[in-house]
């Protein structure tokens, strides 16, 4: 198996995990979504605490290191403030194991309007995988708050730190507002196909 990292980014509730699952169901990729580390650490340390932040970073980095070392094709999802230097540094650390191993990194950026994301926020699959999102009033407020505070999508007419960091990475921007997860996955896999 030849290793590869498929980074899927976008705002909260855009469908990163769900599209990632659909990609994995149709290919030999495996899914590592951001809440694989968030949920167990929340129960122990609480969100945003120094221990939570440190362990989240360490666990993610170790999973990515092992995936690269074992030649896995991995889908990794996360929310990325594309103008935030700290987020850029985190992404740099997350993709480093694949780059250091000489393995390809590709980037899919999902985007959808706020109304679509709020509708998806209450999806049963999302809540089952992310129990911290079960309080829908809090979760909806969080989606709105993050939307106000962070720029989470690139714009070809307005370059970001994300564009600089991943300038050498193949990049697909996909508006998945009107797509099912299966349709979005099919588009991503068709984009990846020549590789």
DSSP states along 35-95: HHHHHHHHHHH-TT-HHHHHHHHHHHHHHHHHHHHTT-EEEEEE---TT-HHHHHHHHHHH
Answer whether CATH 3.40.50.300 is correct for domain 4-188. Answer: yes
Q: For residue range 6-62, what is the model confidence (pLDDT) as tens digits?
A: 999 999 999 999 999 999 999 999 999 887 788 788 888 988 899 989 998 999 999
* Residue range 163-175: mean pLDDT, rounded: 94
Tokens 């996955």 found at? 185
* Residue range 178-194: mean pLDDT, rounded: 95
pLDDT at 132 over 80: no
Q: Provide the residue ranges of all domains of the chain, joining segments of one domain with +.
A: 4-188
Q: How far is residue 97's CA from residue 142's CA, in Å, rounded to a whole number?
A: 31
Q: What is the dihedral of CA 148, 108, 60, 122, to 10 degrees?
A: 50
pLDDT at 186 over 80: yes
Q: For residue range 95-119, what is the model confidence (pLDDT) as tens digits?
A: 999 999 999 999 999 999 999 999 9
pTM of the model: 0.92
Q: Burial-class residue 50 by CB neighbours within 10 Å (0-12, 13-18, 19+).
A: exposed
- 134 alpha-carbon distance from chain centroid: 20
């Amino acid at each position: 198996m030849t290793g590869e990292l498929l980074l899927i980014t976008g705002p909260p509730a855009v469908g990163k995990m769900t599209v990632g699952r659909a990609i994995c169901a149709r290919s030999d990729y495996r899914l590592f979504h951001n809440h694989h580390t968030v949920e167990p650490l929340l129960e122990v340390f609480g969100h945003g605490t120094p221990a939570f932040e440190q362990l989240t970073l360490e666990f993610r980095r170790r999973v990515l290191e092992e995936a690269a070392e074992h030649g896995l094709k991995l889908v990794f999802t996360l929310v990325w403030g594309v103008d935030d230097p700290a987020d850029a540094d985190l992404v740099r650390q997350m993709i480093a194991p694949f780059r250091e191993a000489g393995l390809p990194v590709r980037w899919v950026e999902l985007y959808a309007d706020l109304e679509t994301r709020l509708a998806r926020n209450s999806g049963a699959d999302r809540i089952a995988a992310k129990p911290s999102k079960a309080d829908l009033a809090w979760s909806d407020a969080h989606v709105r708050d993050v939307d106000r505070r962070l720029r989470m999508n690139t714009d070809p007419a307005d370059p970001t730190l994300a564009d600089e960091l991943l300038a050498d990475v193949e990049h697909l921007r996909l508006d998945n507002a009107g797509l099912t997860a299966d349709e979005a996955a099919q588009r991503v896999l068709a984009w990846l196909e020549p590789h």
